[in-house]
Structure 1
Amino acid sequence: MIIKQFKLIYFRIPIIIKLLITIVFLMCFFGTVIHFIEPTQFPTIFEGIWWAFVTAATVGFGDYVPLTTSGKLIGILLILTGGGLIGFYVSSIASGTIKREQDIEHGRLAFKGTGHLILVGWNERTRQLIKIVLEKNPNEKIVLIDRTLRHISFSEYPIHFINGDATEDAILTKANIRQAERVLLTADLIKNERQADTYTILATVAIRGNNENIPIIAEILSKSQIENALRAGATTIIRSNDFMSALFYHELTHSLAVTPFEDILHILSKQQFSHFPVAPEFVDKQFAEVSHHLIKGDHLLIGIIREKKYNIHPPPDLLLEHGDILVTLVRL
Structure 2
Amino acid sequence: MTRALIAAILIAFAAPVHAEARDLTVALVAGGPVQGLRQTYILPFLATGTPVVTATRQPGLETLRDAAARWDVVQLGAATLAAACQAGLVEKLDWGAIGGRDRILPQAATECGQGAFARATVLSWDREKFPGTPTWQDFWDIAKVPGKRGLRRSPRGTLEIALLGDGVAPNDVYRLLRTEEGSDRAFRRLDQLAPYIVWWDAAGRDGARLLTAGEVLMTSAPSQAIALANRGGAHSFGLQWAGELVEIESWAIVKGSPNHEAARRFLDFAGDPKVQARLPAVAALGAVAKGAQEGLSPEQSAVSPTVNSGAALFVDEAFWRENGERLGKRFDTWVSR
Smaller-chain TM-score bracket? under 0.3
Structure with max Cα Rg? 1
Bigger fraction of residues in helix: 1
More RCO (CA 8 Å, sep 6+) = 2
Q: Normalized against structure 1, the TM-score is what?
A: 0.24
